[in-house]
Amino acid sequence: MSLLEVRDLVVMFGDKRVVDGISFDLEAGSRLGIIGESGSGKTLTTLAIMGLLPDTATVSGSIRFEGQELLERTDAQLSSLRGNRMGMVFQEPLTSLNPLMRVGKQIAMPLKIHRGMPIKEGLAVALQLCETVGLPDPERIIRSYPHQLSGGQRQRIGLAIALACDPVLLIADEPTTALDVTVQKEVLKLMNDLVASRGSSLIFVSHDLPVIATMTESVLVMNTGAIVEHAKVGELFANPRHDYSKKLIATAQHADALFTTFRAGTS
């Protein structure tokens, strides 16, 4: 049994089908990339898995996680999985973090909710997690509010929150898009190392082919809500089969760097 099994997933807003009957599996400990242009349905797919789609969305098909059908669960039941067995890092942490709560308490909250850990003990773990994700002066950081931190620091806080309860599945939705190149590289290496050390499975959403090359083993190519290709990363870059995949690779900037990055990541 796969860790995650998605079958014939359809997401609709009114009469508009934005995810069009997609199916895929994710094995325990594996890393899957989802790539496509804006509006391709990749983010909506991950939100459907997490049970975070807006109430205006209509969802059908099947999403089985650890053998449990998620689409049959209430939001309260899904809440027992979110932040516990499944964690998510969002594209813009400033919008996903509570602006009125110190970040240390935000890191500690999943531990209180899912482990019954008192906040005081949770704050001690939050301090350790800040050190784990490479934040300087963690004592100051946990007392800070989100707006007092840089974009890279907020993204590390988001990663600390997602990993607080050691989820078996981590979903990252374009987590470095808003960061400059140097910080992006640091955050990606950190995420790569932490996922590897914890043995978590990873779904990594991006429109950036070099990033997908370094972070994942296989990749879904999505276009207008459908999966047009599913292949190992190396196979996709070396021999894309679908015209849309060929277009993505052909239009990627610095194609030579793409393949160099991929080779470096697999060496």
The CATH number of the domain covering residues in 4-85+169-266:
3.40.50.300
Q: Which ranges of the chain would DSSP assign to H, the alpha helix?
A: 42-50, 75-79, 93-96, 103-115, 119-132, 138-142, 151-163, 181-198, 209-215, 233-238, 243-251, 255-266
What pLDDT, on the 0 to 100 scale, is given for residue 94?
Answer: 79
- What's the order of all strands across the beta sheet hosting 4-13? 16-26, 4-13, 57-65, 68-69
Chain segment 177-209, per-residue pLDDT in tens:
778 888 888 889 989 999 999 999 999 999 888
Could you give the C-alpha distances from 75 to 34, 42, 225, in angstroms and in order? 25, 22, 24
* Mean pLDDT (whole number) for 61-83: 94
Chain segment 141-184, per-residue pLDDT in tens:
999 999 999 989 999 999 999 999 999 999 999 988 778 888 88
Residue 70, C-beta contacts closer than 8 angstroms, at least 6 positions apart = 49, 51, 63, 64, 78, 81
Domain span(s) for CATH 3.40.50.300 in the chain = 4-85+169-266
Chain segment 203-245, per-residue pLDDT in tens:
999 988 888 988 999 999 999 999 999 999 999 988 999 999 9
* Mean pLDDT (whole number) for 17-40: 95
Query: Model's pTM, two decimal places?
Result: 0.91
Q: Is the model's pLDDT at 256 over the cut of 70?
A: no
What pLDDT, on the 0 to 100 scale, is given for residue 254?
Answer: 52
**CB distance 132 to 194 below 8 Å:** yes
Query: CA 188, CA 176: separation in Å to the nearest integer?
Result: 8
Report the SS3 class of residue 57: strand
Q: What size, in residues, is the chain?
A: 267
Could you give the C-alpha distances from 142 to 107, 124, 208, in angstroms and in order? 9, 10, 32
Token pair in block for residue 32: 């899957």
pLDDT band at residue 257 under the 50/70/90 scheme: low
Token pair in block for residue 205: 């959403």
